[in-house]
Structure formats: structure tokens, C-alpha cells
Amino acid sequence: MGAYCNDAVSIPPRYDVVSSRDKHVHDNVHGNIFIDSLSLKFIDTEQFQRLRELKQLGFTHLVYPGAVHSRFEHSLGVYWIAGQSVEKLNSYQGMELGIDKFDMQTVKLAGLLHDVGHGPFSHLFEREFLPQVNSGSHWSHEQMSVKMVDYIVEEHNIDIESQMLTRVKEMILASSEFSLPRSSSEKSFLYDIVANGRNGIDVDKFDYIARDCRACGLGCNFEFQRLMETMRVLDDEICYRAKDYLTIHKLFATRADLYRTVYTHPKVKAMELMVVDALVQANDFLQISDTIQDPAEYWKLDDSIIKTIETSPLEELKEARELILRIRRRNLYQFCNEYAVPRDIMDNVKKVTPQDIVCSQKNGGVMLKEEDVAVSNVKIDLTRGKHNPLESIHFFKDYESDEKFTIPDERISHLLPASYQDMIVRVYSKKPELVEKISEAFENYQLKTYGIKAQVHSTPKKKRRYDSCI
């Protein structure tokens, strides 16, 4: 963006200048949003436009038909409310915080580009598929986003200050285990806006919670606008009014509800298990996982890989193709049952595997094989594991106060949960005729492991038998 005089002396970029390339876009969550010219240079690349081909919620739209929104619109939304957050802090505390146009542009770009390295099918790609084909690797979409940002800048000759580029990448990784050493210790609060590793309150959650609830037709009683209007910076940390603690709790509770009812819906998980199996089957031939270190190849990978598998006539993709066709024809892996792990042993419990289920079957009859069973170990929390997320958030009493403090559990509400994390084990049969056998083995596993039998749901066969009697 830099301009140059005839004597070759560079003039610092002006981030407040309105250019003919600036534009407005209408978003169905935030209304009209304004996109600045530097951000448009990133948006108008094939690497960023790829996000249009990544559904935000993967295969969830096959259960919630409205959930067809993409990473593209989510990224625009995060860009917009990231900028709004900085502008509000600047309007309230601009003199003391020293926020300038450089800071505003940096935070907005971090919001825009935070998911540019995301894989297909929501988080399934990095959490379920890659561990099976690249055991021992520690790949993350945040790391790939950073690589992709560098690639886009170089590939498209985008004129951006090196210091700004460095800070954008630091902000993208701020909440991940791969966070970078910060190039500046000043204005640390800016690093908590897009991806907050300090307490989990960030504009990424603000956007996807509102957007996902809307797309799935669910009510959302969390209002992020209230927090943005009342937040303040104390000791280089974004803090919130003590009277807004329940609004913050609604943020985490709504997120947990989405995980329980949408992201980990039993049928959604069944489809995801099938997609993972299909990708694993196809990986040797299509070399899907070979792209994850090279941005020049990785940007070509999107949700359309499923259509490639589904429509290929090649014999090498036959097993993967049949799995995709089963999803299309709703011939899914059959849900057998689920079990909530007792709270007192949750910290020490290991993930349940198909082998655990197979080893728990009774003698006689059909002998199960590991490839007949699929298991989903679902963890749902309020974003801080087993801890109350409010414990890591600092509050202030009123706008005249410069003291920040935390609010202990006993001073909040006796109606808040006594536990902040669930672990649910779900077992599926890959073959309809084995549902009863696998359900029985799962019951035996519960008895052997926990000493109790907890048959939460009737198996499909028992349910049909009951339905025919009423």
C-alpha cells in the first residue's frame, strides 16, 4: 500500500484513507460491513476465495439443512467485529491506550485471515482424519493459516509492512499451543481480541455462535454487542463489568449447547465417522495428506474432495466411494448407544476404542471385528476444560474504578453447573445386522469398566419392537 515520491523516499501507509477499492458487503448476521482496500487485496485471491468452498459446520447441513454457511462469511464476520471491538475501545480509552490506525488494521486482518488455513469438513480434517494417516504429527489449521498468509503475500505481491504482517500472524496463533513469541510487549490486550488464550472470550466465538445458531434455526440469548459496549482495558487486559457476568456465562453455555445439539449430534457424528473412513481409504491414492505442508498445493483442497471420490469410476476409490454413497442414501453407521463418563473418574479415563468393545462381547454367536465398530469420544466443556471459565476473567465494578478482580463461584449463582465438562462415549455399528451384538458388547464394557449398566437409549431393533406395539 505504500506510496513513493519521485526522490524514492517512502511515505508511511495511510490506513484511514478511503480508496476507490473500498466496498460494503451485506452480511446476514451483522448487516452492512465495510471492507478496507488492504483487506480486499487478501480477499480477492484464490486462496481466500477457497473459503467459500468450506462449509463452516461440515456435514451438519445433512441434519440441519440451513447450516450451509461457509468459512468465507464467518471470516468476514470476524473481520468486522474485530474492527468494531478496537474502535469501541479506542472511543472509550483512546488517549490512555494509544490505539492507532496501524493497530486497527492489524487486528482486522488477523480476524479476516484467522481461518485461511482451515481444512475441509469443519475440524474433522485435523482432529479425526490427519491423526489416522499422519500419526505423531502436530499439524493445526492455525499454523497453516500463518503459512498461507505468507504465501498469499508473496504470491500476489501484497504491499504490507513487515511489522504488521508479523503481528497478524502472532494474533492468529495467540490462543493455540503453537503461539509465537510476541514481537512487542505493548498493547497485549490487542492479542486477545481475535483468538483469546487468556480467558476464551474473543470475536471468533462471537461470530460463529451467532452465525451457527441462526443457520440451524436455534435461539441465541447471548448478546455479544453488550460485552463490546461495556468492556474496558485495565492493566493491559480486556475486562468486563461485574454486572455482566451472566452475559459472559451465556456465551460459554450457548457454545456448549451448540456442541451438544449441533456439532456432536449423533447423526452428524455418524456421518463424520463415515467421511473419515472414506478419506482414509482414499488417501493413499489421492495423497490428500501430502498437501498439508505446502500452501501452494493445500489451498486447492476443499470440501469438493468428497465429490471427487463419489464420482470417480476408479477401482482404487471403490471402498471410499461406497461410503460416500451410503451417506447420500442415508444408510449410515447405526447408533447403538451412548454413555456419560462419571464425573469422578473423568480425569483418568482413556478414550474408548473399537477394540475395547470387541473384547467385551460375550462368547457365542457372531464374533465382532474391530472394523465392524465405530466409537466417538465426545468432550463438551465451557471452553476451559473442567474449570469454570469465569475464574480466568477479570471484572471491574464501575467505570470510575481502576481495580480488576475475579468472581468466585460461590458469589455467582447456585444455579450454575456443579461440573463444567462432559465426556460422552457413543458407539456405532458399521453394519445394520450387528447393532444388537455391538450394543450388548457396549453394555458389557460399561459393567466391566464402571461396574454399572447404563443403557441410555433403546437400540434401533428394540425401539422398533416397542413402536409396533403402540
Q: Where are the domains of the chain?
A: 19-332, 333-408+415-470
Q: Which whole-number Å values give the CA distances from 384 to 44, 256, 419, in the listed order?
A: 36, 11, 11
Task: Determine how β-strand 395-396 pairs with β-strand 237-241.
Answer: parallel
pLDDT for 10 equals 38
pLDDT (average), residues 334-356: 88
**What residues are paired with 35 via a beta bridge?**
23
pLDDT at 298: 98
For 286, residues 6+ apart whose C-beta sits below 8 A from its C-beta are 305, 308, 309, 317
Q: Would you state the pLDDT for residue 3?
A: 38
Q: Helices 162-172 and 101-113: crossing angle, nearest 10°?
A: 50
Confidence category of residue 200, pLDDT binned at 50, 70, 90? very high
375 to 276, 321, 323, 419, 460: CA distances (angstroms): 12, 22, 17, 24, 17
Q: Please compute the mean of the pLDDT values over residues 364-381 and round it to a whole number.
A: 90
CATH topology for 333-408+415-470?
Alpha-Beta Plaits (3.30.70)
DSSP string, 295-340: HHHHTT-STTHHHHHHH---GGGHHHHHHHHHHHTT-PPEEEEEEE
Q: What is the pLDDT of residue 288?
A: 97
3 state DSSP class of 380: strand
Count of CB atoms situated within 10 Å of the CB of 189: 22
Across the range 433-460, mean pLDDT stands at: 80
Q: How far is CA 357 from CA 169, 301, 434, 462, in A?
A: 44, 35, 13, 20
Angle at 105 between CA 104 and CA 111, to 5 degrees: 95
Q: What is the pLDDT of residue 388?
A: 79
- Confidence at residue 462, expressed as pLDDT on a 0 to 100 scale: 54
Averaged confidence pLDDT in the chain: 89
User: How many angstroms separate the CA atoms of 65 and 268, rounded?
Assistant: 12
Handedness of CA 291, 60, 177, 45 (dihedral sign): positive
Average pLDDT over residues 363-392: 85
CA distances from 11 to 1, 6, 14, 103, 165 (A): 10, 11, 9, 18, 18
The bridge status of strand 421-429 relative to strand 373-381 is antiparallel
Mean of the pLDDT values across residues 45-69? Answer: 97
Burial category of 426 from C-beta neighbours within 10 Å (exposed 0-12, middle 13-18, buried 19 and up):
buried
User: Which tens digit of pLDDT belongs to each residue from 4-20?
Assistant: 333 433 344 444 444 55
Mean per-residue pLDDT, 295-315: 97
Instruction: Give the list of residues 6+ apart from residue 45 with CB closer than 8 angstroms, or none.
Output: 152, 155, 156
- For residues 200 and 384, give the distance between their C-alpha atoms in angstroms, rounded to a whole number: 8
The whole-angstrom separation of Cα 458 and Cα 166 is 55
Please give the CATH topology (third level) of the domain spanning 19-332: Hypothetical protein af1432 (1.10.3210)
Phi-psi region of 364 (alpha: psi -120 to 50; beta: other; left: phi over 0): left
- Whether residue 424 has pLDDT greater than 60: yes
Query: Tell me, what's the pLDDT at 20?
Result: 53
Is the fold of 19-332 the same as that of 333-408+415-470? no
- The average pLDDT across 101-117 equals 98
Which pTM was predicted? 0.90
How many percent of the chain have pLDDT more than 70? 89
Lowest mean pLDDT of 196-200, 209-213, 238-242, name the range.
Answer: 196-200
- Cα–chain-centroid distance for residue 142? 11
Asked if residue 274 lies in contact with residue 333, where contact means CB atoms within 8 angstroms, the answer is yes
Q: What is the pLDDT of residue 365?
A: 75
Give me the DSSP letters along 456-468.
Answer: -S--HHHHHHHHT
Q: What is the pLDDT of residue 4?
A: 34
Q: What is the mean pLDDT of residues 194-205?
A: 94
Strand order, beta sheet including 232-234 = 232-234, 237-241, 395-396
pLDDT in tens, 78-92: 999 999 999 999 999
> What stretch of H or E contains 373?
strand 373-381
Residue whose C-alpha cell reads 488464550 in the numeric block: 197
134's grid cell: 499422519
Residues in the chain: 470
Range from 48-62, 82-96, 263-277, 452-466 carrying the lowest mean pLDDT: 452-466
Grid coordinates given for 159: 504491499
pLDDT in tens, 34-53: 999 999 999 999 999 999 99
Q: Evaluate the CA torsion angle 260, 261, 264, 270 in order and state its sign.
A: positive
Report the pLDDT averaged over residues 141-150: 97
Residues with catalytic annotation?
A: 141
Whether 328 has a pLDDT exceeding 50, the answer reads yes
pLDDT at residue 163 above 90? yes
CA distance 239 to 404: 7
